[in-house]
Structure 1
Amino acid sequence: MADTHGQVRFLRRSDKWTTEKPFFMYSQPDRDEDPENVTNLEFQTQLLDITDIRGQEDDFKLEECGFKVVHHPPALVDFTTLEHIREYQKDVQSALATFFDAEHILVWDFKQRKTHRENSVWNLNNQLEIDTTIKEAHNDYTFVSGPIMIKNQLIKNDLERYLRPGYRFRMVNFWRSLLPVAEDQPLTLCDFRSIEPADVVACDRIRPDRSGESFYLHHNPNQKWYYLNSMTRDEAWVFVTYDSAAGNQARFCPHSSFLSPEKDISLTTRYSVETRAIVITKL
């Protein structure tokens, strides 16, 4: 396997997190805010040993480690209208319904990312905008914000039908490269089984229209990080960011882009797309 090293930023371990909750506030595009008033997060860069799972993809199960590689050629790779986004979301919904044998799927979010954001002014609510890659080890939801997001996104009839005993709710990310091969700043994922409770810290995420909570990760040398070498556009990561079921299964999956310390400047700039979905299955 083509194992590698990669630089990832982790939440710095600090005594202040015992009395002060981490937060990050998204500022309005038309406001000039002091960065000190936007976040209290403190990060440190760590060089990780990252294991390539190429050739051993079937050994990594979603229920066990929190992630899985699936083969799924994209319905389209150019997104210039909202209709293109809706078509892609429907295609992902179909793939997830088959993968999970789901009772109900709602693909509610869509995000394109590049290494560098092209627009200086960015609209959080415009799905056609292209965001930057995320270089911090994080998980999109916590055990508090996951249920809140599910209730906010599902319509009343679906809440009445599924929000009762006998159903399992998962928040799932479906990630792929929009380039033929992912080379620059690929995605790395942490095996849930290698995470210790003290590694995980909840962080408030404050937006102009709503607030939420995500997990940031402290570095621990016992953590196991993985990637897929030369990942093609027809391959996708499926990973869980919240699971309502209690038990020994993976309940979330920290992840991040990573930067090779021997980065080749000739590599094509990373361009990826991800969707977030609510997956409902029977227990």
Structure 2
Amino acid sequence: MGAHVSVRFLFTCTSCPGYSLFLSASSCGAGDKLSVVILPADLDSYTYTVATMNPYINYTVSVLAVNDAGDGHPNTTYVITDQEVPQSPSTLTAAVVSSTEIRVSWTISGPEPGPTTYTLNVIPDSPETSRLETVIVFSTTTLLVTNLEEYRTYTFNLTASTIKGTAAYYSPTLPSAKTNAAAPGPVENFVVARPDGPDFTTVTVSWSLPSVLQRNSDITKFMFAHNATGGNLNSAPELISVVDSVTRTLVVVPQTTYYIEVYAVGTDFSLTEYVGVKSTKIYHAPPGGKHISKWELTSLKSITR
């Protein structure tokens, strides 16, 4: 007989809830059906292509013949669609969390293209070097970047990749954020030394700014304190304006111990002050020449008479 036979394809998607399945279907539920009418001449061998399925989806596909008596027995197979290159991430943003943390967030369009790795490029100001952070879950669209330097600006860029390839980096203006300020680190090149020569009553104290990655704020001043044995270093520290390198000369008493302290003070954009790490040195002033005893002094007086 020359009657046409209807062949029904049953597509059951097991891993794509919420996504369009094929053709004009609006959902991806078990039992979605697509009927295709074929000629008797094509019954022995027939190929049908479904062109609008999503990547990396598990499908159960059943093929069965249908006539006036009803549906025949299905022939079932299982298939997973191929992976593809991801879309580029979009709406990349950066928000400061603390003095050492920034949270980066993004969005990405389309269904999951396969096991996806996000690669975040963390770009600091000099003298730091860039580093890469990775996230290996497609649905994760935020990353807390930690172990950053205090009061430093970081810029971020992001891409996504699967085994099929890597998307272009995020292309609009890159987001940046500056970590919160913190207390400065110790001053650099802190030295206490007596000048060469016979002068035993002076000592020079020198230091320079903390290293770039230890400033942690906008350095506004140095505090300089010194006192002899038993003195209170914090009683009246001297405020010194900020320059790259500072040298001070102290007048000391021979055979006396001195405690000398220096630290930096910084502020942030709100002018909150941050007291830096204090650096302290102990200086023992040497004797100031030969000591003359009472006996020697008496002998000298006798000789001069």
Which protein has the bigger strand share?
2
| Higher Cα Rg, which structure | 2
TM-score by length of 1: 0.19
Higher RCO, Cα 8 Å, sep 6+: 1
